Amino acid sequence: MKIAVALFGIPRGADVTMPVIAENIIGPCQDSGETRVFFHLFKQSHVTNARSGDNAVISADAYAPFQRFQGQLEPPDICLRRWHFELVKSFGDHYGDDFQSVRNLLHQLHSLRQVTKAVSGWGADVVVFIRPDLLYHQPLGATAIASASRDDRYCRIPDWQWWGGYNDRFAVCGARAASAYGRRAELAVEFSLRTGRPLHAERLLRYALRRGGAAVRLTRMRASRVRMSGRVVDEDFSWSKTVGSVQRAFELNWLRAQTDYLGEGDEAAAGPAAGAFHVDVAP
């Protein structure tokens, strides 16, 4: 079995997150099969984001943990024209922050697509999509990896923070689902044309996976965002207020009924209703 770990985005807090990723993500993958780690990251010296509160310098050392992996560094902003930023803006600003979040989302989607292209060139059977700015609370379960290797449509996503679509923080995918998950930048304009909605991260993921015929399943594995300062965000892992419509709640409950949560550890077994997770990490 060939397993690809695909890292994408910006290496916020990499000194905090990468040792945990090595233990909780890469290690379990290596235990299950031949594993390679790929990355696409934006090479920049500063991050400013009013929505997240980030306003800090990215040191060159933040990229050091990725040097032993196969990947690409790219300057920011170049990708915006490629993904029709001005046209995307014409559909509206869901986040209401003068399109800053939409801009960031297009960067993330571009990074995701680039690393997906690299992974597909290797011919991975299973792709584990991992943001490097998240602190993963539990080890990746062997059940998810094995299931993705048996069914190329398989896509396992987090069972929390839905925001009217599907949680887009991380995923374990078979080869066909990996293409739908990782290349969804190509559907950004189509999503707005078909739905009449502004670009929205979680709704776009649901649209892309359904369009790609993915067999979606859930995981109670959790992860928290790490800011540039090293602060770990107090995440809310309850799901009721983020589901959206009654119809979407029915869909998510159906997905839960189809999902085998075995092998995800005692902490994860408590489920999303356990609420927020808090940890203090010194800057």
Tokens of 278: 């808090």
Strand order in the sheet with 171-174: 70-74, 34-42, 2-9, 126-130, 171-174, 154-158, 215-219
At residue 45, the pLDDT reads: 61
Mean of the per-residue pLDDT values of the chain: 87
For the question of whether the overall pTM of this predicted structure is more than 0.85, the answer is yes
The percentage of residues in the chain with a pLDDT greater than 70, rounded to a whole number, is 86
For the chain, domain boundaries: 2-274
- With tokens 């915006």, the residue in question is 80
How much is the pLDDT for 13?
Answer: 83
Q: Which residues contact 207 (CB under 8 A, 6 or more apart)?
A: 165, 184, 187, 191, 194, 195
Q: Give 165-224 pLDDT, tens digit per residue.
A: 999 999 999 999 999 999 999 999 999 999 999 999 999 999 999 999 999 999 999 999
Q: How far is CA 97 from the centre of its chain?
A: 22
> Which uninterrupted H or E stretch holds 258?
helix 246-258
12-47 per-residue burial string, b: 16 or more CB within 10 A, e: under 16: bbbebbbebbeebbbebbeebeebbbbbbbbeeeeb
Confidence class for position 280, pLDDT limits 50, 70, 90? very low
Structure token pair of residue 228: 């540039």
CB 171 within 8 A of CB 156: yes
Average pLDDT over residues 62-71: 92
d(CA 187, CA 281): 38
Residue 259: what pLDDT? 87
- Beta carbons within 10 angstroms of residue 228's beta carbon: 24
Model pLDDT for residues 4-40, shown as the tens digit of each residue? 999 999 888 888 899 999 999 999 999 999 999 999 9
Please give the sequence-ordered ranges of beta strands (E in DSSP) within 58-179, or none if there are none: 70-74, 126-130, 134-136, 154-158, 171-174
Return the CATH fold of 2-274: Spore Coat Polysaccharide Biosynthesis Protein SpsA; Chain A (3.90.550)
Q: Please give the C-alpha separations between residue 181 and each of 75, 124, 143, in angstroms, as whole numbers.
A: 23, 14, 20
Model pLDDT, residue 157 = 97
Model confidence at 276, in pLDDT bands (50, 70, 90)? very low
Round to whole Å and give the CA distance between 146 and 33.
10
Is the pLDDT confidence value at 54 over 70? no
Residue 192's nearest CA partner among 57, 282, 102 is 102
